[in-house]
Structure 1
């Protein structure tokens, strides 16, 4: 069932993921994602986890701020998703970047933890 009442554990996961991204620490980001995590962006389409971690690890991509206001969520067995509106700032290849977008994160329970397996970004108009 889709709900606008975001379960606390999903809100915590989203906060942890945001904090990992603004840390620009590859190990922290990796700890929030599955091995097969995919980031779908309007600019590049599907980008595998290995590529994102490589670009962050090299310093080519940094995040200074990242916020997300979750508005919808669902939990079905070992799968969950959260959709909301997010903003972030940072740099790419030394140039400032900022985004205002709708974000959907899909999580999968792996053992006793939940990891993000898909992040889909859509620009807010």
Structure 2
């Protein structure tokens, strides 16, 4: 591969990583806004959240937010994010703390979260979120 082509590919990958990092930040802001319609713009139609309790679909998650059964009070990165971009897919992994209210009961989570994004047209949408509780001491 010529140097110019390799440099353009590297620049394109760096641009995609920056786009996904910014998108993940805006998505976290949308989640904390508790605005289901705003949150939905970041999620692919077949998005799912995988956790220790199982699989939650996009519609199940959005319905919980819409009804007020689930609300987010805070979401913060605890570690630097690891962002990797490929031709049409990208991953965003970070340690995150969240404060949620489920049926009025407060829960605080410290977990590792990985989001898988797929490029569509000129943007990205999340197709999968996988969370794993953190057992390591907070940095």
Q: TM-score normalized by structure 2? A: 0.81
Cα-to-partner distance string for 1:71-111 (whole Å, 9 max, x where unaligned): 32211111000111000102001100110000000000111
1:121 correspondence with 2:119:
no
The equivalent of 1:94 in structure 2 is 104
Which shows bigger deviation, 33-42 or 7-16? Answer: 7-16
Q: 2:115 aligns with which of 100, 105, 121?
A: 105
Which shows bigger deviation, 71-80 or 98-107? Answer: 71-80
Q: Which runs of no fewer than 5 residues in structure 1 stay unpaired?
A: 1-5
From the two aligned structures, give the one with the greater helix fraction: 2
From the two aligned structures, give the one with the greater strand fraction: 1
In the alignment of these two chains, the number of paired residues is 119
Q: 1:50 aligns with which of 43, 59, 65?
A: 59
Contact 1:70–1:82 (Cα < 8 Å) also in 2: no
RMSD across aligned positions (CA): 1.3
Q: Which has the higher contact order (CA 8 A, sep 6+)?
A: 1
Shift of 1:119: 0.3
User: 2:33 & 2:60 partners in 1: Cα distance?
Assistant: 17
Q: Which runs of no fewer than 5 residues in structure 2 stay unpaired?
A: 1-15
User: 2:102 & 2:88 partners in 1: Cα distance?
Assistant: 35
Instruction: Pick the structure with greater CA Rg.
Output: 2
